Structure 1
Amino acid sequence: MKNKILLIALVTASLMTSCKKELDIDPTASLSPETVGSSDVQKLMNGVYDGLQEGNTSYFYLSYAVEDLSADNLAYRATFFQNGEIDNNAILPSNVLTQRYFNAPYVVIQRANDLLEIINNSPDVAETVKKSLLTQTYFLRAYAYYKLVTLFGAVPIVSNRDVVKVPRNSADEVYAQIIADLNASVAAGGIISDSKFASIEASKALLARVYLIKKDYVNAKKNASEVIASSKFAIANDYNSIFAPPYVSTEHIFKVVFTSTEGTNSLSYFLQHPSMPGGGRAELPADASLVAAYETGDQRKTASMTQVSAPLANPGWYSKKYQDPNGAAAHPYYILRISEMYLIVAESQLLTSNNPLDGAALTAINSVRTKRGLSALTTLTLQDVIKERRVEFAFENLRWMDMRRTPSPSNPAKSMATVFLEAKGRTINDELYPIPQAAIDVNDLLRPNNPGY
């Protein structure tokens, strides 16, 4: 009976969010795992992906650029003060944006939990379908936890639909859950070849990123190298093509896709200037330090941003990575790209060998640089890799964690993020976001909040 209730709840939740998304889900009054077939679970799988998309009315889409805003890639301009708090690294627990960044991943997690239970108790689902769904579902749950732990640190791990208060798990426990899910995704063995769906390679790519954060350089390099060796992806010759219609590139390992019939994801509305294709409100221009970070001849600069000059209002540089020339805002969110795997190999190899002349590390980073119109490096430092990551993944939601995990060149005892915060009169406590007060009001076991809040 419990499984029957879970399935009805999931179908209902999917239907409630599917009116505008136009997901192909048929209204069902009653289902049990014994009657669920391959077509049913495929439709429920759509509901898990929808959790990553939804949020046009909740501003969840801004979570896909929030790390650039906390860091030094985006600046705040306009009147949406919640973005100003994030840019100033002075976030209040009442901030409605961070509240939604906390709540929305749990939609994905809960739907994934339900679907995993259904798949594992549905004898009528074909084995090949089951493998594919398990590979995707474990990845999506892991990615939802990744979004939570990187912003908030310790958060609850939720494994079922029981309506109970749950305490926070430590960040180490959340990372362990992410790693376990990603390994389960790989072990499931689903064969997926389209980057709009989670795949074994996507799970290995996220494993590489997580292990890099955890400073497990052996496993970071291992997983990144396996994605490269799969030969399913290649660094694009034209950087601009990665982010241009039809939004299909050999670079993409995993992306969250939209179509013009699904409504807009609205990220471009905040990042772009009104004069740009598709329009915008000039809320979040590129930070001047990012503009200055590009080397002469780097094709990534003009492919990533556009300069708007006076006499137009609000002149400056603006991101164009999420630009839909048709104005439909049907562009993807770019989650994992193959160039990141090369840079993870470079960083992991460098930090393992501690040799600035390491041939393998230089080969990996130069595989990216030479495709972007730059000369090959002959020596390598950690800051070289971090700078390369900054310009390669500008506006792709990686910068704040890179700053948090990297020692500052001016003070190696502190992270780049801490030095950045102290220059603003903030402290190391502001590296993490506060657990939203609204969540604490519902679940007092979330106390105490992160230090400093």
Structure 2
Amino acid sequence: MKHYRSLMLKLCNFGIAVAAIVLACSCDDFLDTENLTMKDTSNFPVNETDAVQMVNGIYSVMNRNLADPEEDPFFIFDIAGDDRLGGGSQSNIGAQGVDRLMNAYVDWMKPLWKQRYAGINRANNALETIDNVTEWSSPDKKKQLLCEIYFLRAFYYFNLAQVFNGVPLVLSTDPQNLPRATADEVYAQIGSDLKAAIENGPSTKYPAFGEGRASKWAAEGLMARVWLFYTGFYNKSELPLAEGGSISKAQVASWLEDCIQNSGFGLVSDQRNLWPYTNPYTAKDYPYALDNGLNWVTDENMENMFAVKMSNKAGWSADSQLRHNRIVEFYGLRKTTVDAFPFSVQGYSNGPVCEKLWTDWAADPDYQGDYRRVGSICDRAVEIPKYKGDPAKEVENTNLLAKKYIGCEAYSEDHSSRYLSYAYYYGSENNRQSGLTQSLVWLRFADVLLMHSELTDGKAVLNGKSGLNAVRQRAGLNDITYSLAALKKERRYELCFEALRWNDLRRWGDVAEKVKNQVGNKITNQGIPGEYAFTNDFMQRYNETGGGFFKIPEDQVTLSEGVLEQNPGWGDGTNWAKGDLPYKFK
């Protein structure tokens, strides 16, 4: 029994091999207070190396969630918006359920709930034990780790709150069976944690604080996102703090100005160079990238401020499965051949792009000549006309494909070999799944600039320009006068397919746009032409669920013995099953 307890604590402290942790269970349940061979809270962390390893474990739950991409917050927020459909095949009910606010599986969202709370538990443990370390290489090292801990706990709670609304507020490792906190209480804690991250984080410019680490600057950016969502969705004027007081719009704007002026982050010269289809091993054989002189800046660049990182380490164990980005796999085309190059890494065809985004962008007089349209969306009929797809399975196919998160192949220099991912050249496996090592970017500098414009009504902030016009300038577009309508369009185009649109619509009160922009899209279902349709009144579903909140996993409600209440709108008749799509099929 002693060895089992020690093993479980080791799993909790070393995040890469974490076991499932439910809300009612803490790593402290497994403590061995007289352990002479394994690590526990009496002997871990004892030095700076231990502390870094402990914090690394908090990050790893994001990779764990990618094992179930349909229940990862990024995938949920991306699919739920109006610019993608669920797609896939009739069997891909997870994506289709997200798109329609319907329940796809028994205990749906359980991996999201479990892993985000595992991360919160690890952050709580880190805050309780970091003072065990008494010697640091520099005063800033401990402060940097505290910044990361507070940032990650806030990030995980923000994910949970945007998916579920009020959730249990767990702030210690003591085993607890807690009811849901109010949204105000959860956001107050998020605000306090981000404020602590900002205040602890050293003002070290990118990239000196370390690749893949949360920073003071990322905390400033996330604070703005939290503030905008909370005040917009809940109709508030300020963001409360758990210790009392609140955060004003002016304070958030000043933090963004600090980030913009002092962080070392910035815009890369061409937005397309952020996406892997411009990598040199793919681009040399991809006419669009070659003709436009595109040159990938890799995942580690001055614009990506916070991302889930992958690994090129080979292998296929229980852990190595989580070193690749399964969201990229789910967005890949079905039944691919060389005719789909460079987007020829086989996947599940989820997330086809809505025709309305494609046509709106082309028709907008403020966006004539915007290279981002073709840089972000592949018109299959134009770019890969010989690719026949998989009409036996594809549903809600629009023949439009998002380029930002999709697997890209590469050839050898002499074309004698074809590699199933460009990442083979960076040390990854030649495999259509484990070779997908693209980072999942949650925050980039362009978003910070646009949030600043929204908070300040277009105040100049970068080289004499507003954030809105700085982003437009990078896209080769002329300056425009600030308005909220202009800001909304720019966010839609610049940030499409980056898991932001759904929550932007929610906080602006514009969710009805989803219905207008999706219904009537021309699609094919197993080769049969049709038009996209909902099976129910989407806005009624949206209102029934309190504004687009998903079902709390049933086992969590059951295990709480009535303490944890289910979200409204998730009773009988809300299950989505294979075959529920409202179309004709072969």
TM-score (norm 2): 0.67
1:75/1:417 CA distance change after superposition, 3 Å: closer
Query: In the alignment, what sits opposite 2:415?
Result: none
CA distance in 1, matches of 2:61, 2:193: 18
1:128/1:234 CA distance change after superposition, 3 Å: closer
**Gapped regions of structure 2 (runs ≥ 5):** 19-35, 232-237, 239-248, 280-297, 314-319, 362-366, 409-421, 423-431, 518-535, 571-586
1:99/1:34 CA distance change after superposition, 3 Å: closer
Match of 2:163 among 151, 160, 164: 151
Once the two structures are superposed, what CA deviation does each residue of 1:6-45 show, in whole Å capped at 9, x if it has no partner?
A: 99755323558449xxxxxxx9613425761111111222
1:93–1:435 Cα contact (<8 Å) kept:
no
Q: CA RMSD in A?
A: 3.0
1:196–1:254 Cα contact (<8 Å) kept:
yes
- Partner SS for 1:334: strand
CA distance in 2, matches of 1:228, 1:445: 47
CA distance in 2, matches of 1:81, 1:125: 50
Match of 1:428 among 543, 550, 554: 543
Once the two structures are superposed, what CA deviation does each residue of 1:77-102 show, in whole Å capped at 9, x if it has no partner?
A: 21211221111122368352x22222
Query: In the alignment, what sits opposite 2:63?
Result: 53
**2:310 matched to 1:258?**
yes
Query: In the alignment, what sits opposite 1:322?
Result: 405
Structure 2: which amino acid aligns with 1:287?
A: C
**2:130 matched to 1:119?**
yes
Query: In the alignment, what sits opposite 1:411?
Result: none
1:305/1:319 CA distance change after superposition, 3 Å: same
Match of 2:388 among 312, 325, 329: 312
Query: In the alignment, what sits opposite 1:221?
Result: 253
1:7–1:118 Cα contact (<8 Å) kept:
no
Once the two structures are superposed, what CA deviation does each residue of 1:308-352 show, in whole Å capped at 9, x if it has no partner?
A: 2366125612222224532511111111111111111211122xx
1:209/1:196 CA distance change after superposition, 3 Å: same
Once the two structures are superposed, what CA deviation does each residue of 1:126-178 show, in whole Å capped at 9, x if it has no partner?
A: 54432121111111111001101111110011122222211111111111111
**Gapped regions of structure 1 (runs ≥ 5):** 20-26, 351-357, 409-413
- The 5 A counterparts of 1:195-234 are 195-215=211-231, 216=238, 217-234=249-266
Report the CA distance between 1:443 and its aligned residue.
1.4
Query: In the alignment, what sits opposite 2:79?
Result: 69
Once the two structures are superposed, what CA deviation does each residue of 1:348-401 show, in whole Å capped at 9, x if it has no partner?
A: 122xxxxxxx66497221111111122221x33312211211121112111111
Query: In the alignment, what sits opposite 1:29?
Result: 38
1:396/1:133 CA distance change after superposition, 3 Å: same
Query: In the alignment, what sits opposite 2:446?
Result: 339
Structure 2: which amino acid aligns with 1:11?
A: K
Query: In the alignment, what sits opposite 1:188?
Result: 200
Query: In the alignment, what sits opposite 1:368?
Result: 471
Report the CA distance between 1:181 and its aligned residue.
0.8
1:185/1:9 CA distance change after superposition, 3 Å: farther
CA distance in 2, matches of 1:219, 1:228: 14
- Partner SS for 2:404: coil
1:10–1:114 Cα contact (<8 Å) kept:
no
CA distance in 2, matches of 1:103, 1:30: 24
1:304/1:40 CA distance change after superposition, 3 Å: same
1:425/1:187 CA distance change after superposition, 3 Å: closer
Compare CA radii of gyration and give the structure with the larger one.
Answer: 2
CA distance in 2, matches of 1:364, 1:428: 34
Once the two structures are superposed, what CA deviation does each residue of 1:73-124 show, in whole Å capped at 9, x if it has no partner?
A: 211121211221111122368352x222222211111111111211023324
1:293/1:172 CA distance change after superposition, 3 Å: farther
Match of 1:179 among 191, 195, 210: 191
1:286/1:14 CA distance change after superposition, 3 Å: farther
CA distance in 1, matches of 2:374, 2:13: 40
- Stretch moving more, 416-425 or 381-390: 416-425
2:345–2:407 Cα contact (<8 Å) kept:
yes
Structure 1: which amino acid aligns with 2:552?
A: I
- The 5 A counterparts of 1:99-110 are 99-110=110-121
Name the structure with the higher helix share.
Answer: 1
CA distance in 2, matches of 1:92, 1:219: 41
